A and B are shown apart, each in its own frame.
Chain A
Amino acid sequence: DTAVSQTPKYLVTQMGNDKSIKCEQNLGHDTMYWYKQDSKKFLKIMFSYNNKELIINETVPNRFSPKSPDKAHLNLHINSLELGDSAVYFCASSQGLAGGQDTQYFGPGTRLTVL
């Protein structure tokens, strides 16, 4: 069984559209994250939820809205997609609060291409 799964793996869409990426973890972890990796492989944290509560919200445009229906799921909805949103988006989870000494477990990534 995959520990952290994301759907879809690839997402190609037009500018201005709205899209969602889903993430699920079966590790029983309390904290989940969304990261954006750009074309130069730079990895930047976007959001983190602990037990369905938002605890990290970096300077991300409010077109991006995370939703955590339960602690095993953290979805990412993006409105009015722009060319600059093209990237690979990674979901991750960890046992404790964000940061600290806990290992983060990453999903396989969703490659978003905005045309």
Chain B
Amino acid sequence: AQSVTQLGSHVSVSEGALVLLRCNYSSSVPPYLFWYVQYPNQGLQLLLKYTSAATLVKGINGFEAEFKKSETSFHLTKPSAHMSDAAEYFCAVSPSGGSYIPTFGRGTSLIVHP
């Protein structure tokens, strides 16, 4: 079984500030990890994913995430927030074997202040 915990249901930053969205996972097998973004009134779209290649993963719109096995974390960062980054962000985990059910975290709402 696997699970995902996103710390903080809301994160508020100023435009130009660092964005850090936290995700911790638990999985009995090596996981695949994803970050998806949901803009208002839209479906989810992939930002980036970890598939056991490089531990530092770069995604779209300047986001990146680092897989840290020792900390069971996959935090999402962006050096400088833009107003257009305001959205809901979901971390998700899929096992690399066994049950194929993907599990999503409860989401973090990113608020960007001018």
Q: Which residues of A contact B (CB under 8 A)?
A: 4, 40-45, 48, 55-56, 58, 90, 92, 97-101, 103-109
Contacts and interface: CB of A to CB of B under 8 A. Distances in A.
A100 B94 contact: yes
14 contacts: A41-B88, A41-B109, A42-B106, A48-B101, A56-B101, A97-B100, A98-B101, A98-B102, A99-B95, A100-B32, A100-B94, A100-B100, A101-B32, A101-B49
B107 A42 contact: yes
Q: Is the interface of B mostly helix, strand, loop or mixed?
A: strand
B90 interface: yes
Interface string B75-100: 00000000000001010001110011
B6 to A, nearest CB: 11
Interface of B: 32, 34, 36, 38, 41-46, 49, 51, 88, 90, 94-96, 99-102, 104, 106-107, 109
A106 B100 CA distance: 18
Nearest to B53: A101
Nearest to B45: A106
Contacts of B104: 43-45
B49 A103 contact: yes
B106 A41 contact: yes
Nearest to B48: A103
A40 B9 CA distance: 10
Given A100-B32, A101-B96, A106-B44, 11 more contacts: A41-B88, A43-B90, A43-B104, A58-B101, A97-B100, A99-B32, A99-B100, A103-B49, A104-B44, A107-B43, A109-B42
A43 B107 contact: yes
Nearest to A109: B43
Contacts of A104: 36, 44, 46, 102
